[in-house]
Amino acid sequence: METRKGIPVSPGIAIREAMILDTEEIHIPQRFIESERVEAEAARYEEGVRAAEQSLQREIERMGGDRGINAQILEIHKTLLGDPVLKNEILSLIRQKQYTAEHAVARTMSRYIKKFEVMDSPIIAERVHDLYDIEKLLLSTLLGSRLDTMQELDREVVVIAHNLTPAQAAKLDSKWVRGFAMDVGGKTSHTAIMARALGIPAVVALEEISTAVIAGDTVIIDGFRGLVIVDPDDATLRDYRAREANVHKVARRLRKETTLPSETIDGHRVELQANVELPQEVHAAMALGAAGIGLLRTEFIHFQKPRGGEAWHLQHYQRVLKEVGDRPVTIRTLDLGGDKGLERAEDQREENPFLGCRSIRYCFANPELFREQLRAILRASMFGRVKIMFPMVGSVGDVERAVGFFEQVKEELRQNGEQFDTEIPVGVMVEVPSLAITADQVARHVQFFSIGTNDLVQYTLAVDRGNEHVAALYDPVHPAVLRLLAASLAAGDRAGIEVSICGEMASERLYIPLLIGLGYRRLSVSPPMIPEVRRIVRSIQVYDAVRLAAQCSGLADGMEIAALLRSWARDYLPDTGW
């Protein structure tokens, strides 16, 4: 049994076999064989090596006279496949441990990859890629028709990966993927947000989990404490199975409360809306009692079909609006870049994409892409209550430029005889400190603010929220962040515009009383968190929350504030798990 500690990013407990995404999403269905099959398994492995070598040789010959770098790489792979030391180690595991050929290959290659990754030599480091490549080739050859990928899952698994791109995360099917763990990432990385949206336990910043786990291993993911336990012993397995059952029991109880009003003990209503990534999440959000969609992230719609254009977006927006009915839907324009990577040419890649051409800046730089989405949003407005929101706006000038695009598209649609809601509310995400500081000026140009705490914290504290090495410095209750939250709300109130929070801070149980105490009455949260946030809202009095916020505002350190919040929760929310 091996236990790894990372950052918990999505609560829950999952106990399933592991699928390693870094091994081309290949699943090893069997790990051990009977003693009488050992020699046949060894022969199968050797035949697999020969077949892989022949495959490489055919590819080399297909290149003909071209003996460039690609052919050289294939020659290296052939040499590594035939390496006697490597072959003997794998054969030894088959004969002595009774491993299947695939499991022996995965174990041996994992050991070599770990060894090579810690070496300083850049030449040796390059060989790591070769080891990954021949591992994939060997496993694919050995499994043949039994090759199993993420797209062909027929059983529940937990996914283990070095990293998951947004495009890969969008393919996760919560029916089969019951949790995931990654080497890298932070609490508000977009992949972490996706896990919470899907309602599956997840742990990130585990550093080497993708090489510590072998496909088929039994793995426990504890999304509450940030633990990943590989090959648990019987006692640990029994304990976690009991915990998993209790988590499901509590979730069922909370779901029964969906019809109860979201208001405090002393009668103050707190509107709970949902953040959603994909249209298929909307039904669950509505079933959990969401008052609307406070944030429809459109990046995953885009990633599913990057060249789908206006018709593709319109189709998905209509689907969301139909599901939501007469409740409002806030559509955020494309927030590409940062941790939602973009395919760029080598000479266009940015050293720091979080501070580069991302989000609204990327839309300004790609006006036709921007116009396509704006046309789709406007046309969709005929099917429900649409609001539009621009992300990463940093100044009044950015707002005026974005609104200028919007007005141009409106005029194009009028000229084409297209119908749309002429009074769509326009808002901005407050996530850049310059906007929060000048919120009083910006408020004159928009109908609502939505506070994006993920980036607001990142930019205020100069902490890359996707970097596991500085994850401990990411502090949503840092005094500077609390001042910006209070100032933004005050500016919105003075201007008479609606202000809400849609960042992940609104989904954190610990922060709900503080946000209510600061004066926030609209929260947009991950759908699975709606029942729990409602329960916390219904357990507090605004008077007590205001006193708590005043105490927090008087402290000079985020750790002190977090400690105060935990102490307050234990006293005032005894039945909510603190």
In this structure, the answer to whether residues 16 and 49 fall within a common structural domain is no
| Positive or negative: CA dihedral 333, 271, 451, 560 | negative
Question: What pLDDT is stored for residue 543 in this prediction?
Answer: 95
Q: Give the contacts of 342 (CB within 8 A, at least 6 positions apart).
A: 336, 353, 362
CATH number at residue 200: 3.50.30.10
Q: Tell whether 136 and 160 lie within a shared domain.
A: no
**pTM as predicted:** 0.70
User: Order of strands, edge to edge, in the sheet holding 2-5?
Assistant: 2-5, 227-230, 218-222, 13-20, 157-161, 177-182, 202-204, 7-10
Is residue 232 domain-shared with residue 264, that is, in the same domain?
no
Secondary structure, 3-state, 62-85: HCCCCCCHHHHHHHHHHHHHCCHH
Token pair 């509450």 in the structure block, residue: 224
pLDDT of 512: 97
Rounded to whole angstroms, the Cα distance separating 195 from 8 reads 11
Q: Which of 197, 219, 249 is a domain's end point?
A: 249
Of the given ranges (42-56, 132-146, 201-215), which has the lowest mean pLDDT?
132-146
Backbone angles phi and psi of 451, in degrees to 5: -80, 115
Tens digits of residue pLDDT in 481-516: 999 999 999 999 999 999 999 988 998 889 999 999
Q: pLDDT confidence of 94, banded at 50, 70, 90?
A: very high
Do 97 and 236 fall within a single domain? no
What's 164's DSSP letter? -
Looking at the structure, do residues 314 and 381 belong to the same domain, yes or no? yes
Cα separation, 133 vs 130, in Å, equals: 5
Tell me the backbone φ, ψ of residue 430, rounded to 5 degrees: -95, 100
The yes-or-no verdict on residue 92 having pLDDT over 50 is yes
Q: What is the dihedral of CA 325, 515, 280, 319, to 10 degrees?
A: 30
What is the residue whose two structure tokens read 């949503």? 476
Domain boundary among 144, 169, 184: 144
Contacts of 497 (CB under 8 A, 6+ apart): 427, 443, 446, 447, 448, 449
Please report, as a single letter, which amino acid is at residue 478. Answer: H
Of 276 and 124, the structure prediction assigns the larger pLDDT to: 276
Q: What pLDDT digit, counting tens, does each position of 415-425 carry?
A: 999 999 999 99
What integer is the mean pLDDT of 331-340? 84
Pair (100, 161) in one structural domain: no
State the total domains in the chain: 3
Q: What is the pLDDT of residue 259?
A: 84
Active site residue 248: no
Residue 227 near residue 243, CB atoms below 8 Å: no
- pLDDT single digits (tens) 22-81: 544 566 777 789 999 999 999 999 999 999 888 888 877 776 654 555 566 777 788 888
Residue 72 maps to which CATH number? Answer: 1.10.274.10
DSSP 152: G
Give 292's pLDDT tier (boundaries 50, 70, 90): very high
Q: Are residues 414 and 463 in the same domain?
A: yes
Place of tokens 């940030």: 226
Give the model confidence (pLDDT) of 336-362 as tens digits.
876 665 554 444 567 777 888 899 999
Where is pLDDT greater, at 256 or 40? 40
Q: In angstroms, rounded to a whole number, what is the distance separating the alpha carbons of residues 523 and 500? A: 6
Catalytic pick from 77, 103, 502, 552?
502
170, 265: one domain: no
Active site residue 316: no
- The verdict on residue 230 lying in a domain is yes
- 366 in a structural domain: yes
CA 478, CA 482: separation in Å to the nearest integer? 6
Q: Are residues 243 and 283 in the same domain?
A: no
User: Looking at residue 151, what is its pLDDT?
Assistant: 56
Confidence band (pLDDT; 50, 70, 90) for 388?
very high
- Choose, from 190, 302, 313, 478, the residue flagged as catalytic: 190
* Domain assignment present for 187: yes
Q: What is the mean pLDDT of residues 472-477?
A: 91
Strand ranges inside 391-527, DSSP E: 426-430, 448-451, 498-501, 522-525
- The reply to whether 133 falls in a domain is yes
Answer whether residue 292 is part of any domain: yes
3-class DSSP assignment, residue 453 = helix
* pLDDT for position 126: 57
Position 148 scores a pLDDT of 47
498 neighbors 448 (Cβ within 8 angstroms):
yes
Contact 553, 482 (CB under 8 A): yes
Domain co-membership, 201 together with 117: no
Domain that holds residue 159: 2-26+149-249
- Higher-scoring residue by pLDDT: 95, 189: 95
- SS (HEC) of 9-64: EECCEEEEEEEECCCCCCCCCCCECCHHHHHHHHHHHHHHHHHHHHHHHHHHHHCC
Residue 212 has pLDDT above 90, yes or no: no
How far apart (Å, rounded) are the C-alpha atoms in residues 421 and 419?
7
Among 17-21, 149-153, 156-160, 442-446, the range of highest mean pLDDT: 442-446
- 319 occurs within a structural domain: yes
For residues 319 and 341, state if they share a domain: yes
Q: What is the DSSP letter of 198?
A: H
**Beta-bridge mates of residue 272:** 523
76, 111, 144 — which closes off a domain? Answer: 144
Digit-coded pLDDT (tens) for 95-136:
999 999 988 998 898 888 777 766 665 556 556 767 877 887
Q: How long a stretch of residues is the chain?
A: 578
* CATH assignment at residue 335: 3.20.20.60
Least confident of 300-314, 381-395, 443-457, 557-571: 300-314
Q: 413 with 554, same domain?
A: yes
Q: Give residue for tokens 């029994």.
A: 238
Residues linked to residue 266 through DSSP beta bridges, in sequence order: none
Q: In this structure, is residue 561 part of a structural domain?
A: yes
Domain membership flag for residue 577? no
pLDDT at 24: 46
- Residue pointed to by tokens 């947009």: 524
Helices (H), 271-427: 282-287, 299-304, 309-324, 360-365, 367-380, 396-415
Query: How many angstroms separate the CA atoms of 23 and 132, rounded?
Result: 7
How far does the chain reach from its first CA to its final CA, in angstroms? 29
Q: What percent of the chain has pLDDT over 70?
A: 88
